[in-house]
């Protein structure tokens, strides 16, 4: 009986540590940027970088939301579908996105289907 209980306990621990973390719903405000360009140099944002950012988004490259504090959220879900179709018109603008936020390996992702435009 002790072996059975010990075996079940080990399985429960393995399952607990291998299960994906639950996503937390959150609203995040920030600027939409081309993630690769921004990662190379944080100056690659804003109106001076708008044409390049839009071009990269049209190619389907990952788009990120950068907060005023500098936290970066990769955008996933419906907003990133069809080569960022819903994001292209809003690149370099300040927007608000409400969605499920997950973190893995020190990187944050927000999965959402819509955004709210705040400023150009």
User: What's the pLDDT score for residue 13?
Assistant: 46
Q: Which of 66-75 are b and which e, b meaning 16 or more Cβ less than 10 Å from the residue's Cβ? A: beeeeebbbb
pLDDT at 91: 95
pLDDT at 62: 97
Which pTM does this prediction carry? 0.79
Domains of the chain: 23-119 (2.40.50)
Mean pLDDT by 10 residues, the chain (120 residues): 49 47 83 93 88 94 96 97 96 96 95 91
Residue 119: per-residue pLDDT:
79
pLDDT of residue 5: 54
Residue 77 — left, alpha, or beta (φ > 0 → left; ψ -120 to 50 → alpha)? left
Helix (H) or strand (E) holding 29: strand 24-34
């Amino acid at each position: 009986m002790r072996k059975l209980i010990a075996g079940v306990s080990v399985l429960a621990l393995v399952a607990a540590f291998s299960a994906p973390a639950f996503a937390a719903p959150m609203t995040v405000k920030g600027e939409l940027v081309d993630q690769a360009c921004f990662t190379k140099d944080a100056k690659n944002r804003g109106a001076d970088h708008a044409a390049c950012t839009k071009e990269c988004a049209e190619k389907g490259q990952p788009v990120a939301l950068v907060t005023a504090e500098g936290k970066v959220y990769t955008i996933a879900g419906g907003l990133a579908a069809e080569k960022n179709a819903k994001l292209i018109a809003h690149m370099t603008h300040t927007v608000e996105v409400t969605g499920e936020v997950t973190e893995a390996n020190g990187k944050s992702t927000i999965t959402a289907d819509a955004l709210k435009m705040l400023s150009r």
